Amino acid sequence: MPEELRSISIIDFYRHIGCDVLQFGNYELLPEERITYPFRYIYEGTEKSTEVVEQILGYDFLRGDFELSPSFCDAAIPEDYTFEYTTSSLRSPRLPIYDSDAMYMLPVTSHLDWNIMSFIFRTSDGRLAVIDGGHPEETEAMLGALTQLSGGETPIVDVWFVTHLHSDHYGVLTELCSDSGKYSGRVKVKKLCHALLPREFYSDISRERGSVPAGAWDVLNNAAATLGCEVVRLAEGDSVSVCGLDFYVLHTPDCVEAGLLPKMNMNDSSMVLRLTAGGQRLLFLSDGEWICNRQLLGKHRDELAADVVQIAHHGCGNVSDECYAAIGAKVYLMQAGNRFYYSDGGEGLNSHNTGMIRTRRLLCRLGVKEICDRNRALGFALPMSETQTRRAIPTEDGRLRQAHRYGR
* Among the ranges given (26-35, 318-327, 361-370), the one the predictor scored with the smallest mean pLDDT: 26-35
pLDDT digits (tens, 9 = 90+) for 285-310: 999 999 999 999 999 999 999 999 99
Any idea where the domains of the chain sit in the sequence? 93-407
- What is the β-pairing status of strands 156-162 and 128-132? parallel
Of the spans 39-48, 321-330, 340-349, which averages the highest pLDDT?
Answer: 321-330
Q: Which CATH architecture has domain 93-407?
A: 4-Layer Sandwich (3.60)
Q: What angle do CA 122, 125, 127 make, to 5 degrees?
A: 45
Per the CB < 8 A criterion, the answer to whether 164 and 206 are in contact is no
The Cα 161–Cα 192 span in angstroms is 6
More confident residue, 327 or 30: 327
Per the CB < 8 A criterion, the answer to whether 118 and 94 are in contact is no
CA 404 to chain centroid, in Å, comes to: 18
Model pTM above 0.75? yes
The Cα 367–Cα 377 span in angstroms is 24
Over residues 281-286, mean pLDDT: 98
Per the CB < 8 A criterion, the answer to whether 201 and 170 are in contact is no
> 87 burial class (0-12, 13-18, 19+ CB within 10 angstroms)?
middle
- Ranges of beta strands (E only) in 176-277 are 188-189, 191-194, 230-233, 239-242, 245-251, 272-277
pLDDT digits (tens, 9 = 90+) for 242-264: 999 999 999 999 988 888 899 89
The Cα 304–Cα 325 span in angstroms is 10
pLDDT at res. 35: 38
The Cα 285–Cα 396 span in angstroms is 35
The Cα 288–Cα 271 span in angstroms is 8
